[in-house]
Each structure stands twice: as C-alpha cells, then as structure tokens.
C-alpha cells in the first residue's frame, strides 16, 4: 500500500497546497528593560501574492513580545537576561525572483542565530542558512532542501503528510470510496498518489478531478459531474478560495458525501463564509484545534495572541507553527551556554521535542514517506461544527506511520 514519491515531487505538492489568510506584524517595547544583548531570530515569509500569510509574522512577533515580557532568555541560567529580537522580511517573489535570497543575506548579515517559521519556497534560502550554520526551526516544508537539508528543522509533517491523510480521514469517518479534487497543475497531478497511499485499498480511489485555479472560472459542470459520481468522500486539496468555492459548489450540486480538506487551506474567516455548506467538513491538521482551549498550550497561544499581538491573529496552522517554533528556540537557548547557530543546531539534532499542541517527537525520526527532515507523521482529524473547527473527542492524533504499515 505504501507509495513513496520523490523529494522533487513532494516539494511541488507542498508548494501547491499552502494558501492565504489575513493579519500583520509590528515591533513593540516589550522587554525594553532587559539589559542583556538581544538575541536575533529571523522570519522570512512570502510577501503579498497568492500564498501570503500575514498572520504568521503577527504570531511570531507576539510570541517574541510574550517571551520578552516574561523575562526574556537567560542562556545557561547565568548572566543578564537577554531579549529576543525578530528580524523579519517578506519576500515578494512574484515581482522579484531573488527576493527570498536577499532576505536570507540580510538575516545572516544581522547575525541571527535561528530562523523561525520560514515560509518561502526557495532552496537557495535553506542553503544560505546551512552555509552560515544557522538552523531553520519550524520551517514550512515546500522545497527539496526543506525536506533534506541538515539546517532544516520542521516541527510538523506539512503538506505531504496532510495530503496523504485526507483519504485516511474520510475512511475513518465511514467513507469507502474516495475521489480526489485538486488544482489543474503538474503538482495537482501528484495528489491522487498521496491520497491513495493511505487508503484501505488502492481500488478505493474513485477518480480524480482537476479544477482551474482561477476563482472566477465557472466550475458548475465539474461540480455536477463529481456529485453525479457519488463517491463516499471527496479529498479536496486546493487554495483557500478554490476550497471554499468547491465546498459550496458541491453542496449546491447535491453532493451529500463527506469532504476532507487540509488545515493550510482553511481559516476562521473562510469557514465562517461557508455557512451551512461547511458543516461536517473534515479538516486534517498538524496541530490541535485552536478552539480546544482545554489544552493548556492552546490556551497559552490564544492568550498570548490576545495580549501581545497588534490586532487579531487568526489561529491558522501558520500562526500556530510560528508560535511553537519561537517558543522551542527560546526554551533551548535557556539550556545552552553557547549562543550561536552552530550551538543551537547541535542542541536540536536528534533531540526530543515537546510543543504541547501535537504529540512529542524526536528530530531525525523516520517516516513512511522517507523524508529525512520530517520529524513526525501525526495529524489530527478535526470537524467543522457550528462554523468552528473542532478537535475530536479527547483531542487525539492519528499516527500515519502506523496506518502506512497496515
């Protein structure tokens, strides 16, 4: 049953399945009374365009504010407490293909000791950080270097794992046959292979439908065709706008089966716009649902965003990832005596990690996709209820490595 795709293919898919939401970031005066030398962290993110996630920067800055307000970091428990400083750069690669590389050079020139939550598709950025011996912690995996470079330290499985899990989520919810609906692009053609990898039987995949990325395109006939085929479940992997349009279109066409999407393609705002059409949608996520404030770490995230951010921060995968990555770096710095990228890399490699919003994992752990830098294959199957994305009862996660062995 297991199907392994090349790193290049996985990178193409990852780049195609991330999407856009809302927000902004700002500097504040938190930690201004800390007397130690600032420790600089880098955040490089895609600028305005089709995959813009401005809430990522807001979440990272709010986390830095919270850490500084709580006393900053004190490496080795000795000396003066030191504030964190976020060196952020938005790479508008639509207008400048070299923008991401320029951001990397600027961050390295600023002597950052780590990147947090990097979200830009550029092998050159990863290679530049590796050359400077600076780890990229919580990087959003999109390119071949994200999957393989020793400077890359993602803390989730990202789009490859989420895509593979959509079919499994549908079958766990009672669907037998699954149809794939995704974008009409070379990377979209890879999606059925991912979904098939974790189905109970390869024969359970009942067709693939490829939609235009143009949200103004008339897809009525395609929605009717999908509905008429009557698959038990639809694994929908597309941009935020196309995801919302497709869910509504399928329901209007009379489709009554189950629909599963990846968490990187939805947000609080996009779910709210769906209304009744969104009810029951399955959301496959790398992290616990932001609505599950019974989880103390989720509550901490919500509280820190409310107190330390400049305006509302949507609790997306991107925001949660940036928050967790920044806290992870701060925690490791408190236990180190050598404050450097090299020292942090050594402290991270092969270490056990507990972020609280997902199961614990160890950097370097193997996964069924055989991607060396993805440290975990655990996802949560969430459901839209009452217009909100809700965790399953008990907040449990599914181990895709275990599913792949069955």
Q: What is the CA radius of gyration of the chain?
A: 21
398 neighbors 380 (Cβ within 8 angstroms): yes
Segment holding 306, helix H or strand E = helix 296-308
Q: What tens-digit pLDDT sequence spans the chain (406 residues)? A: 444 555 555 555 555 444 433 333 345 588 888 989 999 999 999 887 767 788 999 999 999 999 999 999 999 888 889 999 999 998 886 778 899 999 999 999 999 999 999 999 899 999 999 999 999 999 999 889 999 999 999 999 988 899 999 999 999 999 999 999 998 888 788 889 989 999 999 999 999 999 987 878 899 999 999 999 999 999 999 888 889 999 999 999 999 999 999 999 998 889 999 999 999 999 999 999 999 999 999 999 999 999 999 889 999 999 999 999 999 999 999 999 889 999 999 999 999 999 999 999 999 999 999 999 999 999 999 999 999 999 999 999 999 999 998 7
Place of tokens 């470079």: 149
* β-sheet bridge partners, residue 389: 384
CB 335 within 8 A of CB 347: yes
The encoded tokens of residue 65 equal 């504010």
Which structure tokens are listed for 273? 């716009």
Bridge partners for 399 per DSSP:
378
């Amino acid at each position: 049953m297991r199907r392994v795709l090349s790193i290049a293919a996985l990178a193409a898919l990852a780049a195609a399945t991330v999407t856009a939401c809302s927000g902004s970031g700002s500097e504040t005066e938190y930690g201004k009374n800390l007397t130690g030398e600032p420790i600089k962290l880098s955040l490089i993110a895609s600028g305005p365009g089709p995959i813009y996630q401005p809430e990522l920067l807001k979440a990272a800055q709010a986390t830095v504010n919270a850490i500084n307000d709580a006393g900053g970091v004190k490496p080795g428990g000795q000396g003066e407490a030191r504030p964190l400083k976020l060196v952020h750069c938005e790479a508008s690669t639509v207008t400048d293909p070299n923008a991401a590389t320029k951001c990397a050079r600027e961050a390295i020139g600023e002597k950052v000791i780590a990147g947090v939550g990097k979200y830009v598709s550029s092998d050159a950025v990863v290679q530049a950080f590796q050359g400077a011996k600076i780890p990229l912690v919580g990087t959003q995996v999109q390119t071949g270097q994200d999957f393989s470079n020793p400077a890359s330290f993602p803390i989730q499985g990202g789009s490859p794992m989420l895509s593979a899990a959509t079919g499994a989520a549908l079958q766990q919810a009672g669907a037998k046959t699954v149809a794939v609906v995704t974008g009409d692009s070379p990377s979209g053609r890879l999606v059925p292979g991912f979904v098939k990898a974790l189905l109970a039987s390869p024969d359970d995949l009942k067709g693939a439908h490829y939609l235009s990325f143009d949200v103004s395109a008339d897809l009525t006939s395609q929605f009717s065709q999908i509905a008429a085929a009557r698959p038990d479940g639809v694994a929908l992997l597309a941009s935020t706008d196309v995801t919302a349009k497709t869910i509504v279109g399928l329901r209007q066409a009379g489709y009554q089966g189950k629909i599963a999407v990846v968490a990187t393609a939805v947000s609080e705002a996009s779910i709210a716009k769906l209304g009744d059409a969104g009810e029951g949608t399955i959301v496959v996520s790398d992290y616990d649902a932001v609505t599950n404030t019974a989880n103390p770490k989720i509550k901490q995230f919500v509280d820190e965003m409310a107190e330390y951010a400049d305006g509302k921060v949507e609790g997306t995968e991107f925001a949660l990832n940036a928050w967790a990555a920044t806290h992870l770096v701060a925690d490791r710095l408190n236990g180190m005596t050598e404050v450097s990228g090299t020292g942090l890399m050594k402290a991270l490699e092969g270490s056990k990690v507990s972020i609280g919003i997902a199961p614990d994992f160890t950097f370097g752990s193997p996964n069924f996709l055989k991607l060396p830098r993805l440290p975990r294959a655990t996802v949560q199957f969430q459901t839209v209820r009452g217009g909100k994305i809700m965790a399953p009862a008990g907040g449990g996660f599914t181990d895709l490595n275990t599913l792949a062995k069955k």
